[in-house]
Chain A
Amino acid sequence: MKTFFSRTNAIKTAWLLLFVTLALTNACRPISNPAQTDLEEVLPNVITLTLSSPQGNTTAVWHGSTNATGSAVHIDTLVLAAGRTYAGAISAVNATKSPSVDLTAEYKKLADEHQFFYIVAGDAKNRVSITVTDKDGNNLPVGLEFTLAASAGASVRGTLNVVLSHYDGVKKNGTSMSSESDIDITFPVVIR
């Protein structure tokens, strides 16, 4: 009579044990749970244009959402006085963090990899001229500081497109945009 401990059964059991052990060894591999936030990408969500002149100042703010999607929440209209010349500056802040992160300093530090472009369109196009005044180490424009002149005339509307080009693969030459825009926002403009 066959007992459970017959040779064939012992063989089968040995094989089964081997495979079960293998399977279990694997099953017990721990599932690693890496940290959820790991060097978050810090993009600005508040961009402020500050224009000052002896006759008076004006600002316009572009507010992005505080979640990570980067979509716009509120965009101010830039109100310019006809016939006035402003000294302008741009600042970019990430306010989703506490404390908030000022990215303007970083753009200044890595000025040779960044350039702001200001493009006016609409009826305001021929009334506004913007000249970048700051330079990077290679004497190329950066665009964190500029002068803005609004010529005298009737009241018109238009838009101001602000683009921050980041130069990674392409070398910055001071005139052409890179294929990579870190900031690309548009303010409505009114000249009164």
Chain B
Amino acid sequence: MTISRHSFVLWACMMLTQCCFIPALYGQILVGTVLDNRTSKPLSSVRLYILESKRGMLSRADGSFTLPIGERGTYTLRATLLGYTALEERIVATSPDTIRIRIRLQQAVVRLAAARVVTDRINSDNLPTQNMTTITTQDLERSRGQTFGEALQNVAGVTLMQTGASISKPVIRGLHSQRIVVVNAGVAQEGQQWGAEHAPEIDPFAPSKIEVVRGAAGVEYGAGAIGGVIRVLPRTLPRGTWFGGEAQTALFTNNSQGVLSLALEGGKAVIGDSNTLLNELGKGFGWRTQGSARRAGDSRAPSYVIGNTGFQEINGSVAFGYTGERFGIEAYYSLFTTELGIFSGAHIGSLPDLLRAMENGRPLVDYEWTYAIDAPKQQITHDLWSVNAHYAADCGRFELQYGWQQNNRAEFDSHNARIRGDSGVLMQSLMRPAMNLQLTTYSLDAKFRHKPLNIAPEAVLTGIVGGSGVAQWNVQSGRAFLIPSFQAQSGGAYLIETLAMPDFIANAGFRYDARHVNVIGSEFRDIPDTTQTFSGFSAALGVVMNFGLEINTNDSTQFISLQTSQRPSFKPFSLALNLASAWRAPLVNEQFSEGVHHGTAQYEIGNPNLKPERSYSADATLALRTEKAHFELSGYVNTIDNFIYLRPDAANPTVTIRGTFPTFHYAQTFALLRGVDASADALLSDNVRLGGTLSLVRGDNVADSEPLIFMPADRLRSFIRYEAASLLGMADIFAEISSTLVRTQDRFPANVDYAAPPPGYVLFDCAVGGHVETFGTRLSWNVSVRNIANTAYRDYLSRYRYFTDDPGRNVVVRVSVPFGDGR
């Protein structure tokens, strides 16, 4: 694999650090005090809540609190107080001793004296009114080991565009790739998103949380965020004295995949004697290192092996930071490397070959199952460095984020290399990538969150002013050609103001971006050197209001349930309305590609004169939240002017030496997308939970009055889950049965696709899991079966659907073992 030496040294260091750890202490009751970080005064009425046991209390007048933990294990204590930044602290209870803890809360810029609005919304980096779903650590744990994209598939409005088990791209409300932004550790991921078979390069074990913003978010994230944003949040660094970690493993039967992951973290380094400069340095210190490796063989469809679909991945990350009174800085490095096979039967040289392969209804060759990865294959590495710093001044908070990332994509062909001379030279050429792309991106973001202004007794105005700059280079080499090399610089500036009142928030934002692209021409491809500048504005306007009868949470006992709300009383309904406009510049592949696309056997011709896409969208979300139920319904309309798509030119097929191919030109149209996302979740009894998500999208090419191609089919996922605090000596037991119903996509343009959309399907999954106290730790496990009935099906968005069924039954076993000490 092509891992740079620099990356390898880091990787080696990470693995070395992970080889030693210190054994643990024990704890039953958590006793602590909450203080203001700046004034060191005790804080009362701080909401303290243990996420795992769902128990909480308010801190007393002297800032003290006592929480029973009950069982051994790792817990997350969340401390929230209006006007302060929420804090999550890791607690490890492994001995009968009382755990003592001191928590310091940092005053948030938002000081909402009287406002009882949802503080989470204000504290988020996204616009407070925006439609967003958070995938929590708990949800992620249940899907650990799957690809990054698969972790997102249960979110309403999100579907996957898959190329086998190894490549899955999230599709938000019908849009994907260049129309959504993936933010990894605060930095917009700049990978090679040129094709449907190019997946986001993110380690599925790295995030502690994933936020999915549905709808345009151009103001916060700049040009490109037309369809939505996926924010990947790594775990927060531990603070205070703490050393620990977690080992995880997962096994998958379908492709005989094995996954191993190890994380280690610590805080407050003791360096040298007390009261020395070095010791001072160590106090605010926290670090974390994490690595994962996995290997998978070929996937198995219900009745045959899908040849050459194995993959292997090695990923790792290191983070460390220092947090002082007003100043904090954190550095994060992550490395993602993968080698994955492309199903041999889908790598097509000519149209008759494609039709022959499709007619057969199953792969032409009976493949032997293997771990080996042959050409055609991809080798990808993605290095990312991010450094972010903040300083809390009296007038507000300054934040600075620097990012450096390099993406290397090497694609290997299995054939097509006609090197003159002997077959030795031919073999040698096959060992080298047919195409190599190296994208390097530097980014710098600066923002200032101004001090909240009390403009009225119950109204507070907060705001952010920011700017960002990006410089990137993409260098292409190899005999196969996808895009020319290019350089690009872009910059933008924005302003967002938020008005918060009790049960009402309004926000407005405006942004201007410019992008300068310098394409390095290719004589061989008849592409001249081209310099282009694109610019445009993004704007957003939104309101959210809470209404309905106030519900009081049960405040009479000391340990109140805070599962659904962090406030003692709240209005159960909320309605959010958003209007947004966003844009994106055409990409080099849309402008300059010319040639046959392997796998689709289409001759695609770029158009250098494409104009930027411009989207105008509106969405409305009605939500109901009570302690026992949660319901959310969103409707949206997104119009995209100059929508870039491939228009078939049936009258002029391209005649080449390899046969005749249907011709497709990159063209622009007026597109209209609209749809509904819904999610619901209700506690039927103390132990039984019922829920589901629904995603409907309709996309139309208005100018040509026909539906847009490759829009996700209607999808309904529902589950019923039994939960028990303890059963058979195990804790937090759950058992779940879920089903996924997918309707046949009946809206598609005529005479463009080679095959009609596959019929709809129903899949059933089930899972059981829980915690076991053993070997002095709290081991967590789960076993799930996906596609229980081993149904043969093909998804409309699967890139292999012309040639093979999707994978069949998959039994997955996951075990995770936390360890550490909490002195």
Show the binding face of A for B, using Cβ within 8 Å: 7-8, 10-12, 14-16, 19, 22-23, 26-27, 29, 31-45, 47, 62, 64, 67-72, 75, 101, 103, 105-106, 109-110, 166, 168-170, 179-186
Contacts and interface: CB of A to CB of B under 8 A. Distances in A.
A15 B387 CA distance: 12
Kindly list the 10 A-B residue pairs having the minimum CB-CB distance in the complex, ordered from nearest: A184-B659, A72-B655, A34-B477, A70-B656, A41-B479, A181-B350, A42-B418, A70-B657, A39-B429, A15-B322
Nearest to B525: A68
B385 A26 contact: yes
A128 to B, nearest CB: 21
Given A71-B654, A181-B658, A35 B429 contact: no
B280 A11 contact: yes
A72 B656 contact: yes
B436 interface: yes
Dominant secondary structure at the B interface? mixed
B417 A23 contact: no
B329 A40 contact: no
A7 B656 contact: no
Interface residues of B, number: 64
B524 A41 contact: no
Interface stretch (B35-43, B182-190, B352-360): B352-360
Given A23-B387, A69-B656, 11 more contacts: A19-B389, A32-B438, A34-B436, A39-B417, A45-B657, A64-B656, A70-B595, A70-B656, A180-B353, A181-B658, A183-B657
Contacts of B331: 19, 22-23
Contacts, number: 151
A36 to B, nearest CB: 6
B525 A67 contact: yes
Contact of A29 (B6, B344, B432): B6
A42 B280 contact: no
B415 interface: yes
Contacts of A181: 349-350, 352-353, 658-659
Contacts of A36: 477, 485, 522
Contacts of A64: 656-657
Nearest to B367: A169
27 contacts: A19-B387, A22-B387, A34-B477, A36-B485, A38-B432, A39-B417, A39-B479, A40-B479, A41-B417, A41-B479, A41-B480, A42-B418, A42-B419, A67-B525, A68-B595, A69-B525, A69-B594, A69-B656, A70-B656, A70-B657, A70-B658, A71-B656, A72-B655, A75-B655, A166-B415, A169-B344, A180-B350
Interface string B313-355: 0000000001010010101000000000000110001101100
A92 B461 CA distance: 74
Contacts of B357: 179
Contact of A31 (B364, B419, B423, B475): B475
A20 to B, nearest CB: 8
B281 interface: yes
A72 B524 CA distance: 16
Contacts of B398: none
A74 B385 CA distance: 53
A189 B345 CA distance: 34
A181 B351 CA distance: 9
A119 B331 CA distance: 65
A185 B657 contact: yes
Contacts of A32: 438, 475
B420 A106 contact: yes
Contacts of A43: 418, 657-658
A103 B365 CA distance: 29
A16 B364 CA distance: 60
Of B356, B364, B389, B657, which is in contact with the most chain A CB atoms at under 10 Å from its CB? B657
B645 interface: no
A186 B659 CA distance: 8
B125 interface: no
Interface of B: 6, 277, 280-281, 322, 324, 327, 329, 331, 344-345, 349-350, 352-353, 356-357, 364-365, 385, 387, 389, 402, 404, 406, 414-423, 429, 432, 434, 436, 438, 440, 442, 473, 475, 477-481, 485, 522, 524-526, 594-595, 603, 654-660
A39 B432 contact: yes
B418 A103 contact: yes
B365 A169 contact: yes
B260 to A, nearest CB: 28
Given A33-B475, A34-B436, A69-B525, A179 B356 contact: yes
A163 B6 CA distance: 49
Given A43-B418, A169-B344, A184-B659, A7 B277 contact: yes
Contacts of B655: 71-72, 75, 185
Nearest to B350: A181
A186 B660 CA distance: 9
A133 B504 CA distance: 86
B385 A35 contact: no
A23 B385 contact: yes
Contacts of A40: 479, 524
Nearest to B480: A41
A25 to B, nearest CB: 9
A22 B423 CA distance: 47
Nearest to A170: B365
A42 B665 CA distance: 26
A39 B656 contact: no
Contact of A19 (B329, B656, B657): B329
B179 to A, nearest CB: 28
Nearest to B421: A106
A27 B479 contact: no
Contacts of A29: 6, 406
B364 to A, nearest CB: 6
Contacts of B364: 170, 179
B431 to A, nearest CB: 11
Contacts of A106: 418, 420-421
Contacts of B415: 166, 168, 180
Nearest to B415: A168
Nearest to B276: A7
B478 A38 contact: yes
A50 B406 CA distance: 53
A107 to B, nearest CB: 9
Contacts of A186: 660
B485 to A, nearest CB: 8
A118 B787 CA distance: 47
A14 B432 CA distance: 45
A181 B440 CA distance: 37
A180 B657 contact: no
A99 to B, nearest CB: 11
B506 to A, nearest CB: 37
Of A12, A35, A41, A170, which is in contact with the most chain B CB atoms at under 10 Å from its CB? A41
Contacts of B277: 7, 10-11
Of A37, A39, A64, which is in contact with the most chain B CB atoms at under 10 Å from its CB? A39
A22 B436 CA distance: 28
Nearest to B364: A179
